[in-house]
Amino acid sequence: MKIMKRLIVLLAFIAATGSASAQTPPQTSTKKVDGTENVYLFRYGGHQSIFIVTPQGVIATDPISYLRPAKPYIDAIKAVTDKPIKYVVYSHHHYDHIAGGKPFKDLGATFIAHKRAKERFLELKKQNALLPDVVMPDEVVDNKKTITLGGTTLELIYVGRNHSDNSLVMRLPKQKIVFVVDFAPIESIQFRNIPDNLSPLEYIDSLKKLAALDWERMIPGHPYAGGRFGTKKDIQDDIAYLEDLSAEVKKAADAGKCFDPAMKEIKLAKYEKWNNYETGLGANIERFCYWWGRGY
């Protein structure tokens, strides 16, 4: 009987995923966010976005269709509502989150991004480096913009330069949720050598601004730490990590140890359980070596 039950569960899993490998999670998933009436989390591989369904239409965020079709995301929205997709909001200008939005544009969505994201696209275009399937923003945000649609309010807030110079925090004031992509990882060190960042210290300031906003749950753009949502404590931990890293690298820079000796010698044992610690700490140190050792 037990074996029979297991077989049925396995067959159901195969039917749901189209794969016989019990190790591979399905490529996409859509979940209504607990405790909300209309906020959904859409995951595509290792990237995720939120969309908000209102009686007057849908506010979608990052198309996340870089090297993937946009259709599964649109299908996920259509599976829960027949209302039109009114907006697509970009979290920041990096292609892996925002390229490939044309099918949303074809459905009539208005694209919104931080003003600097649009400037970056135009610079990239001039250099012939803009991916052809990036949709230009129709509207831009400077420090703050509020979208109200069908009784739902979504704030788009700029907290300064961090992982990019155009990252927007998307805050749902009623639900006390923020959607934050890439700049506040959960239990994870920073990405590689913290690229596209002009000032590591401004990065820390932007995390402090994020921590000061009114929210209870943070939905990230990648499923970190088993896919859980972030808390204010996670942001405090990110700040502590960057401050500890900065202090250690400053000492090493003052002692003339940047770059290679610092990258080999510095250990931050407090964070050794964090994601990417083994593979990424050296590159994180390198970024702060540039800052403390060279001034850039």
Summarize as ranges the residues that interact with Zn ion (CB under 5 A).
94, 182
Give the dihedral of Cα atoms 263, 211, 161, 104; nearest 10 deg.
110
Q: How crowded is residue 228: how many other Cβ atoms within 10 Å of its Cβ?
A: 13
Minimum CB separation from Zn ion for residue 173, in Å?
A: 25
Strands 110-114 and 217-220: unpaired
Q: Which two tokens stand for residue 161?
A: 């330069």
* Closest distance to Zn ion from the beta carbon of 205 (Å): 19
Q: How far is the CB of 229 from Zn ion (least distance, A)?
A: 19
Tokens coding 51 = 């969309």
Give me the amino acid identity at 254. Answer: D
User: How near is the Cβ of 224 to Zn ion at its closest, in Å?
Assistant: 14
Which residue number, 115 or 192, has a Cβ lying nearer to Zn ion?
Answer: 192
73 vs 292 by CB, closer to Zn ion: 73
- Residue 47 CB, nearest distance to Zn ion (Å)? 10
* Residue 107 burial by Cβ neighbours in a 10 Å radius (0-12, 13-18, 19+): middle
> Which C-beta is closer to Zn ion: that of 94 or that of 161?
94
Question: Could you report how far apart the first and last alpha carbons of the chain are, in Å?
Answer: 66
Residue of 217, 195, 193, 277 lying closest to 241 (CA atoms): 277
**Choice between 165 and 182, CB closer to Zn ion:** 182
Q: Least CB distance from residue 36 to Zn ion, whole Å?
A: 25
C-beta closer to Zn ion: residue 80 or 131: 131
**Least distance in Å: CB of 178 to Zn ion?**
16
- Which strands form 110-114's sheet, in the order they lie side by side? 28-32, 39-44, 47-54, 57-61, 85-89, 110-114, 139-141
Which residue's CB comes closest to Zn ion?
94
Burial 253-269 (b: 16+ CB within 10 A, else e): beeebbbeebbeebebe
Which CB atom, from 94 or from 118, has the smaller least distance to Zn ion?
94
Residues contacting 251, CB < 8 A, separation 6+:
none
Name the token pair of 132: 């052809």
Q: Is 138 helix (H, G, I), strand (E, B) or coil?
A: coil
Smallest distance, Zn ion to C-beta of residue 204, A: 18
- Which residues are 90's β-sheet partners? none
Q: Is 141 exposed, middle or buried (0-12, 13-18, 19+ CB in 10 A)?
A: buried
By beta-carbon proximity to Zn ion, the closer residue of 164 and 175 is 164
Return the number of the residue (24 or 279) whose C-beta is nearest Zn ion.
Answer: 279
